[in-house]
Amino acid sequence: GGALAKTIFGDEPTKPDYRNVPAAVFSQPPIGQVGLMEEQAIKEFGDVDVYTANFRPLKATISGLPDRVFMKLIVCAKTSKVLGLHMCGDDAPEIVQGFAIAVKAGLTKADFDSTVGIHPTSAEEFVTM
Task: Return the pLDDT at 104.
Answer: 96
Per-residue confidence (pLDDT) for residue 125, from 0 to 100: 97
What local confidence, expressed as pLDDT, does residue 124 receive? 97
**Superfamily classification of domain 19-127:** FAD/NAD-linked reductase, C-terminal dimerisation domain (3.30.390.30)
Q: 90-102, pLDDT tens digit by residue? A: 999 999 999 999 9
8-24 pLDDT, tens digit per residue, is: 999 999 998 888 999 99
pLDDT in tens, 33-91: 999 999 999 999 999 999 999 999 999 999 999 999 999 999 999 999 999 999 999 99
What is the DSSP secondary-structure string of the chain? -HHHHHHHHSS-------TT--EEE-SSS-EEEEE--HHHHHHHHS-EEEEEEEE--HHHHHHT----EEEEEEEETTT-BEEEEEEESTTHHHHHHHHHHHHHTT-BHHHHHTSPPPTT-SGGGGGT-
Q: What is the pLDDT of residue 97?
A: 98
Q: For residue 91, which of 50, 49, 59, 43 has the smallest C-alpha distance? A: 59
Q: Torsions phi, psi of 43, nearest 5?
A: -60, -40
Q: Report residue 108: phi and psi, to 5°.
A: -105, 170
Per DSSP bridges, beta strands 23-25 and 69-76 are unpaired
Q: What is the pLDDT of residue 61?
A: 93
**Residue 81 pLDDT:** 99
Give percent above pLDDT 70 in the chain.
100
119 is catalytic: yes
Listed by start position, the domains of the chain span 19-127
Distance separating alpha carbons of residues 76 and 47, to the nearest angstrom: 7
Alpha-carbon gap, residue 70 to 66, rounded angstroms: 13
From the list 119, 121, 123, 128, the catalytic residue is 119
